[in-house]
Structure 1
Amino acid sequence: MDKVIEIKNLTKVYKNGRGIKDINLDIHKGDIFGFLGPNGAGKTTAMKVMTGLVKPDSGDVKINGFSIFEDFEKAMEKVGCIVETAEAYPYLTAYENLKQFSRYYKDVDDNRIDEVLELTGILKYKNEKPRKFSLGMKQRLGISAAILGRPEVVVLDEPLNGLDVEGMISMRNIIKNLAEKERTTFFISSHLIHDVELTCTSIGVLYNGRMINVDSTKNILKNYATLENYFVSEVERNGRF
């Protein structure tokens, strides 16, 4: 299997002692990787380092074989992401926002814009401005922007935040379909254990900035009734609960 994301000895510790410590991780093409952990575990810090938004204390991240720190443009060329919050120009319509973003990509036309708006369920709102959108609709627009350029890797920080039940189901299906049909690789952080269980093919548990364990969802559910049981067991086993 092709390694798409390689994280080696990644460390970033802030003055308050929080952050991530010595993370090692390999993610393969078509995986839906779930970065599971409570708020404050270090998930967003890791994703900021992965996408070049924060400089680490040590370690490296390679995407498609290119180091984020030595060859940033090539590493990020085929990556779409949302880290922390989905941002948009409030004075432009949903369509105009994506039209603006399309300038960064080749072969993204109006048909592609309509396609991603349809995929995320907001095509009928394409001519409305996001300042009028609910949190869930803003999140859908952010997902539209993240997948607009047909990326090979998509990094999503808490992608289900603000979505209602119908929206969560829809977003899970979008992620699964892209992974299955287009072999898109997803790196998803969340503290919503149930949604990670239903969405992700492999899971890494992050606790107090350290990676406790990584395993496939299939293997985990062979041995535990639920992902929540696995999470509690792993945290207790490592003496951190």
Structure 2
Amino acid sequence: MEKVIEIKNLTKSYGNGRGINDINLDIYQGDIFGFLGPNGAGKTTAMKIMTGLIRPDHGDVRIFGYSVTEEFEKAMKQVGCLIEIAESYHYLSAFDNLKQLARYYPEVDHKRIEEVLELTGLIKFKNEKPKKFSLGMKQRLGLAAAVLSRPKVVILDEPLNGLDVEGMIDIRKLIQHLAENEQTTFFISSHLIHDVELTCNRIGVIYNGKILNVESTHNILKNYATLENYFVSEVERNGRVPSSAD
């Protein structure tokens, strides 16, 4: 299977001792990869480096073979992302927000905008302004923006944040639909163990800035009753042992 994202020796330290330390990961086409760890584990730092928002101290990320630090435009050409909070123009309707974004993508027409509003469950609110939206609806609009250009890779930082149960199910179905039908590759971070278990086919546990293990969801659930049991076991086995880098 084609390797879509290669993360090599990725390291970034902050003054407060947080950050990420020597992360190595390969993500393959059609993967729904779950980056699972508690708040402060380093998930957002890694994803900001992956999307060129910050530079690493060491290491690199390659997307479709292009280095994010050296060949940013080529690396990001087929990438959609939602990092931290979904931003939007509060004084424009949901439809017009996406229309503004569509100016960057000549192949995106009004039909595609309607399509992603439908996919994310926002079609009936397309003429409303996001300033009236709940956090969950803002997340949906952020997701609509992330998949608007039919990217081959979608990087989502805590995409289920603020969603109610119905919203979580809708977005999970959307992610699985795009992975299966359009071979879209997803890299998703979350601290919501149950949702990662239900959404992702491969999981990497990150704790204190280090990757503890990467395994398929199928294999994890063959050996553990739940993903939570696996997570606790991995943290107790690897995570709480001080390393020379601490």
Partner of 1:230: 230
C-alpha distance in structure 2 between counterparts of 1:4 and 1:21, whole Å: 22
- What pairs with 1:31-180 in structure 2 (closer than 5 Å)? 31-180=31-180
C-alpha distance in structure 2 between counterparts of 1:208 and 1:239, whole Å: 7
TM-score (norm 2): 0.97
Deviation at 1:106, TM superposition (A): 2.5
Partner of 1:2: 2
Partner of 2:217: 217
Q: Aligned letter for 1:228?
A: E
C-alpha distance in structure 2 between counterparts of 1:188 and 1:85, whole Å: 14
Partner of 2:244: none
Partner of 2:19: 19
Partner of 1:203: 203
C-alpha distance in structure 1 between counterparts of 2:65 and 2:119, whole Å: 30
The answer to whether the 8 Å contact 2:208/2:239 transfers is no
* Structure 1 unaligned spans of 5+: none
Provide the alpha-carbon RMSD of the alignment. 0.7
Tell me the secondary structure at the aligned position of residue 95 of structure 1: helix
Partner of 1:194: 194
* Structure 2 unaligned spans of 5+: 242-246
C-alpha distance in structure 1 between counterparts of 2:149 and 2:74, whole Å: 15
Count how many residue pairs are aligned between Structure 1 and Structure 2.
241
Q: Aligned letter for 1:208?
A: N
Tell me the secondary structure at the aligned position of residue 238 of structure 1: helix
Deviation at 1:109, TM superposition (A): 0.5
Deviation at 1:239, TM superposition (A): 4.8
C-alpha distance in structure 1 between counterparts of 2:32 and 2:66, whole Å: 20
Q: Aligned letter for 1:75?
A: A
Q: Percent of aligned pairs with the same residue?
A: 75
C-alpha distance in structure 1 between counterparts of 2:177 and 2:4, whole Å: 18
Tell me the secondary structure at the aligned position of residue 92 of structure 1: coil
Deviation at 1:240, TM superposition (A): 1.1
C-alpha distance in structure 2 between counterparts of 1:92 and 1:34, whole Å: 33
Q: Aligned letter for 2:213?
A: N
Q: Deviations over 1:132-166 (max 9, x none)?
A: 00000000000000000000000000000111100
